[in-house]
Structures are given as structure tokens and as C-alpha cells.
Amino acid sequence: HFGCGDGQLTVALHDSNSYYVHGLDKSDANVAAARAYIKSQGLYGDEVMVEQFDGDRLPYIENLVNLLVSEQPLPFDANEILRVLSPNGVAYINDGNDWTMTVKPRPSDIDYWTHYLYDASNNAVSKDTVVGPPRRSQWHGSPMWCRHHDRMSSISAFVSENDRVFYIIDEGSKVSFQLPSRWSLYARDAFNGTILWKKPITSWMTQMWPAKCGPAQLPRRLVAIGDKVFVTLGLDGTALSCLDAATGNVLWTSSSSTTVMTEELIYSDGTLFTMVKSDPNETTWNDYRPLETWLWSARDRADALFPWNSADSRKVTAIDPDNGNIIWQKDYPIAPLSLAADANGVYFHDGSGIICLDRGDGTEKWSSAAIALKSPLPPKLAPTLRANSGL
């Protein structure tokens, strides 16, 4: 907020805890008055602050500011405004006669990453041509360190969509990894790192899982499409949920008992496809208990306890993303991370070969010749099936 004056409009711009408001003014008297007013509202320092400004450049790095408001003409040109605005950011400026609005266009060469492997095709290559070797930091978000080098990774999933990033993280104590985990789903602004919302996850993978070696499927439980986030807000036995990407509010939770063991999900052309355990009595991640103190023995035991082989049946489920209703469901053995989809069908490896199902009703369209698959597969590894350009 440029020209913050007494700070009343600055405070009014603080609509929720998802915003940081920074007031700027050339007058030291105005800055003092604004700080006093903001402190009287109990807001100063956390999410609303004021600073004296007398330079010719705004004190922000590029692509940082979502909204710039000024009740007076600015002492610099439009290029400086566009420099600090984030893509799709807005500037409202009063030139003395009227308010004008400027929107910074989003570059067409910036892409999103909505799935673990980019999209439902599992082709882990984006269309982004801006990304490259890092030259500086855009923002830093806590925590600065993971919990332990030799155990479960503190970040289980990370995706981006519509100028937001979403991730599942363990914020448990770093004093000892034996202390309980605190898993949460976070949403941040992709350009400035502001925390938009977070959702607690009551149960997730144990922090005692060895060597950060998987489980390879965990990142497949989070997908962001448009203004929706699809996620399992828990490990085994938790229903699939759809959240509002802007607020974190739950839009729907699947009422079907056949989705409470969802292991993977992908979104393709208006349909959500999931992979669900068929047998609720099958060994689950919650059954893991650490017994060995030596890391590599613990890893080998985890591999032996949770193998995948073609005898393990799963359900391929097509779901309406608007309401969570099941469109169809089929039983097959499905190798981890092999579920993929494109405009021509839904694909997976059943342990013997590749199967293609019709997107509309789930009928089998074709199956490939035998493609050998090492079995059993340890949980830290998985084959990747890629569907791309009709191949």
C-alpha cells in the first residue's frame, strides 16, 4: 500500500490471515501514525507492517506482489510496477482524478505441475521454458530442515496449479525423529510463499520408515486441477476428498466405502481415476513397525514386508470430480505407479502386460503382449507407464 497515510486503509486491506500487507510512505510522521493505528488493532508485525520509503524503486524482488494500491500518483513508471507484480497481480492507482487498474499478464511460457509426474500421462516433462539454473531465491518457507537424513522424508507430495503450490509435510520435532509426526497439507502462493491455508492430516506414513526409500506411491495421493485439490487426508482407511484450492474448504468427501483405501489418483480430461485396494484386510502401511536399529536392515525388512506382486488385486475407479460420485469401477492387479490416462483410454500394468480400459465405461479395449515385470516389487521402487502422443 503506497502512501499509507494514517494506516486505516492499510488495515482494511488485511482481509484474512492469507495476506501480508506492507504499507509504504515518504512521510515519517505518516509512518509513525500508521504504526500506532495498526498496533491499536493488534495487527502490527505479524501480517501488517509499515515502512518509510524515499527511493525510486519499490523494495521488492520481481514477481512478488499480488496487489499494489496507491491513492496518489507513483513516482516511477509502469515498468517498475510490472516488475514487482506477480503474474495475474493487480495494481490500483489513483492519478488524482480517477482510479486505474493494471493487471500483469501471466507469461504463456510458465507451466504448472499438477501431478507427481506432471500430469495423468506420467510424462514428467513440463512445457515451462522459463525454468532453468537458479540465480536467486524467490522466497523461503519454513521449516528450513527435514526431520532426519536416514528416515522418512519430511515432504511426501508437492504439486502446483493456478499460481499456488500444495504439499504434504511433517512438521514434527527435529530434536528426535522418534517423537510423533505432525503431518499437514499446505497451500502457498507460488510467487511469494504466503501461506494460504493448511489442513492437518491425522494419520500418515510413520516417520520411522527407513532411508527415505519410499513408499513410492505416496506422492500419487495429491493432485491439483484448476481451483480444486484432490487428496486423501490420511493414510489407509481415509476417504478421498476434494478441497477448494483458494480456501482449503472441503467441497466433497467420497461417501463410497470403495474409495477409503485409495492409493493413487490422476485427473484426465474431466474425470478422476483412482487406484484402490480391493481387500481392506491386506497389509497396510499402518502395519509397519520398526524392529531393527541398523538402517539398511530396516530397509530390507520393509521391502520384504510390503512387496507388490500380480496376486494383489486393485480397483480402477472413475470418479466425477464435481461431486465424488463413482462412474465405474473394475477389478485388476495393478502395478504401483503404472496408472495413466489420456484421451484414448486408461492404462496400467497388471504384472503380465499393459491393459487399456475405455474411459467411458471401463470395458477392456486391449491388452498387450507379455511384458516381463520383476516380482515382487519392493515399495521403494515402481515401474512407470507413460502415455504420450498415442504411444
In the chain, domain spans: 8-103, 155-367
CA distance 380 to 211: 10
Instruction: Determine the pLDDT at residue 163.
Output: 96
Write the single-letter amino acid at 109.
Answer: D
Q: How many CA atoms lie within 13 A of 193 on its CB side?
A: 8
DSSP string, 206-223: -TT-GGG---TTGGGGEE
Tell me, what DSSP letter sits at residue 60?
S
The position carrying cell 485409495 is: 262
Residues 97/115, Cβ–Cβ less than 8 Å: no
Cell for 359?
474411459
Spell out the per-residue pLDDT of the chain, length 391, in tens: 999 999 999 999 998 888 899 999 999 999 999 999 999 999 998 789 999 987 778 999 999 999 999 988 888 888 999 999 999 999 999 988 899 999 999 999 999 999 999 999 999 999 999 888 888 899 999 888 888 888 888 999 999 999 999 999 999 998 888 899 999 999 999 999 999 999 999 889 888 888 877 789 999 999 999 999 999 999 877 889 999 999 999 999 987 777 788 999 999 999 999 999 887 777 777 778 888 888 888 888 888 888 887 777 899 999 999 999 999 999 999 999 999 999 999 999 998 899 999 999 999 999 999 987 766 788 888 888 999 877 8
Distance of CA 111 to the CA centre of its chain: 14
CA distance 209 to 117: 23
CATH topology of domain 155-367: Lipocalin (2.40.128)
Residue 91 φ then ψ, to 5°: -120, 125
Instruction: Determine the pLDDT at residue 248.
Output: 97
CA distance 310 to 350: 6
CA distance 90 to 88: 7
Residue 225 φ then ψ, to 5°: -135, 120
Cell for 129?
521454458
Q: Comparing C-alpha atoms, which of 123, 201, 119 is closest to residue 161?
A: 119
Strand, helix or coil at 34?
A: helix
Instruction: Determine the pLDDT at residue 237.
Output: 79
CA distance 285 to 117: 22
Instruction: Determine the pLDDT at residue 290.
Output: 82
Let me know if 270 is exposed, middle or buried by CB neighbors in 10 A (0-12, 13-18, 19+).
exposed
Strand, helix or coil at 301?
A: helix
Task: Please say whether the structural domain 8-103 has been given the CATH code 3.50.50.60.
Answer: no
CB-based contacts of 118: which residues, under 8 Å, 6+ apart?
124, 125, 126
CA distance 76 to 73: 9
Distances (CA, A) of 125 to 27, 167, 229, 357: 50, 19, 21, 24
Strand, helix or coil at 363?
A: coil
Instruction: Determine the pLDDT at residue 200.
Output: 95
Q: What is the gyration radius of the CA atoms in the chain, in angstroms?
A: 25
- Return contacts of 143-146, CB within 8 angstroms, 24+ apart: 143/169, 143/171, 143/174, 145/174
Q: Kindly provide the b/e burial profile for residues 277-290, where b requires at least 16 CB atoms within 10 angstroms of the residue's own CB.
A: bbeeeeeebeebee
Residues 370/352, Cβ–Cβ less than 8 Å: yes
Tell me, what DSSP letter sits at residue 47?
T
Largest CA distance in the chain: 79
Instruction: Determine the pLDDT at residue 291.
Output: 84
CA distance 389 to 380: 29
